[in-house]
Structure 1
């Protein structure tokens, strides 16, 4: 089903798409689902050479609301005292905070699947939880 959608979106027939897979990977495979990681990279390179552009998925957006920034700052404060591993990027920090928040969602905070969907009250509770954690481990959290 996915190959039909990809082919339709890019003006290719299903047969053209399957041929592109076989040409790029030098295999008899006709589905991207059957490709190894290396073969998928070969296919991606082939499509780029044909002029296709890779469009990043929207899910990787940074969380820039003030409360999200506060959560990130508190996480870095915890990292400074060794309570958590220091993330290399803001995006990896957001991922770490989100994973922690999911684990907290069984208590006072309420269910959280993604931080970007958390309401103001939930974000406030998460901030307070991180502040309390920071005070316990001697981090500068204010």
Structure 2
């Protein structure tokens, strides 16, 4: 397995931001978990230990980029349209807000469980919403 220290540094940084830790609290946490105040001084196993601790405290890493969220094209279209709208949304286009939108539209709790017809309804609603947003920008 590759060393991948850069990826772990990035995940530690993301976890720090997600958990709202200031610099001192972050360094204290590293020291409490591993005895070292810097991630650069840690082994891979020590970084993994710190990440596991952050996960216990609520850190939720995002899914890997580039992987399709579904094998079904209509569901991927829903995610793509939602992502396009994200900058215009108060929620920032979070997964939770997409689930709530889908639930309001067709009564399904998760976009991954949409039938073809339900996905079509959601897609058309998202397209219409996108057109309204574009119209407001002009």
Task: Say yes or no: TM over 0.5.
Answer: no
Who wins on radius of gyration, i.e. which is larger? 1
- Give the structure with the higher percent helix: 2
